[in-house]
Structure 1
Amino acid sequence: MGTVFSFDVTYGGGLAVPRAVEAAVASLHTADAVFSKYRPDSQLSRLARGGLALAECDPVVAEVLRLCERARERTGGWFSAGYAGGLDPTGLVKGWAVERAARMIADAGAYGVCVNGGGDVQLLGEPEPGRRWRVGVTDPLRRDALATVVEGAGELAVATSGTAERGHHVLDPHTGRPPLGAAVSVTVVTRSLTDADAWATAAFAMGATARRWLEAVPDAEGFAVGGDGETWQTSGFARTSAARTALGIR
């Protein structure tokens, strides 16, 4: 997927969790092979150019496309996997793949799981009993500094969309241009990284209207940095150190 992944796992011993980590890593490689836009032989590439039918693809392709359609409906069209007649679910697929990998490890008996895919993070459980995870969000204007810190335990996902890493790669689906009034980065905090990844993409594409939209999304909070360094956050973001009360995270 053109980025770095890392795992932080706490468990009580035995072989089940290490084997699950190996399986989770393999699942990420498989997701990359299936969904890569840069591999002409990937199932996504072949599906997009009409060389492969959806029924011939791995079932995960249909699953991801269903999730993309759900995201399109829930964002009022601001998230789209089919802009200009193309097929590009990459605004959701990384979050989906990371969340799936994290849940594979937790289901094997780990009591603390952190999977980080290029700065988008799915957290489950606790890093150790009684301690919360802390996720630093990089300041897009000062890469050696943090813009904010998200803290919590249980199910927690943090995704950021912006221009710092890849330039203007998120476009307004209605115009095909960079969004008007867009922040430099938008971070979304919720329980599921599949949702957080898609919602961060949609919120960035919305530009100036993103804050109002995020305020209405249940169980989600947002934080953004503007090009002038000014920040905004949804009304529940700051509660009890970065929104864990608002999200019902213990």
Structure 2
Amino acid sequence: MSLENVVIILAGTKHPGNIGSVARAMANMGLGRLVLAAPRCRITDESYRLAKAGGPILESARVCRSLAGALRGVRLLVGTTGKSGGYRSPAAPPRAIVPRILDHAARQRVGILFGPEDTGLVDDDLRLCQLLMRIPTHRRASSINLAQAVMVVAYELFLGSLGHTPARAIRTASLEQTEAMYAQLEKALLEIGFLHTQNAQHMMFTLRRIFGRAGLESADVGTLRGIARQISWYATTQDPAGD
């Protein structure tokens, strides 16, 4: 199976050498699409020196000023994180997620998002992701280099793609559609008191994980937005006194 629809997205990368090393890892594993979201460095001669056979990937890399721009056209977004617990739970190892990525990539664009070398992805980035991925490491040395992380994920994708037959044709809702849905759901749930300022972020993150695992299609999003709209209507039109 081709990996043409899989995009590696680097957010806020600081070191030109890491960009080159990522391109080399991608080339080794048959990946060709690289997007840089709000990079804090440029592609330099060092990048090309370390890219080796990945030079053409650097030449065709798309550079975007914001993460929102980098996600344009992406239907499934998988975020990578080195941490666990809290909002980040559950984050599965690459091998567990690869089959789903490949099923989606058969017909639509899938983005795999990696954060800056020093901080990784922050919560505002992770909340955009339908799935979270965490590379298991030994507890005494859990930190891995950006290019190493990309290589591990790319290897699992390449290995999984050999002879892979997608389970079914999947066409999920766009990120723009799902973000509009989440905004409408949050508004409705605040209006009925299910959410409040102390728990809104945590609960919405939980809902994102639930719906992210479901792989919502456009019709699903439309149904959920209709429910949210009816909740808002009821919350704003009912008589508080019960008359």
Q: Give the TM-score, by structure 1 length.
A: 0.24
- Which has the greater radius of gyration? 2
From the two aligned structures, give the one with the greater strand fraction: 1
From the two aligned structures, give the one with the greater helix fraction: 2
Q: Give the TM-score, by structure 2 length.
A: 0.24
Structure number with greater CO (CA < 8 Å, separation at least 6) is 2
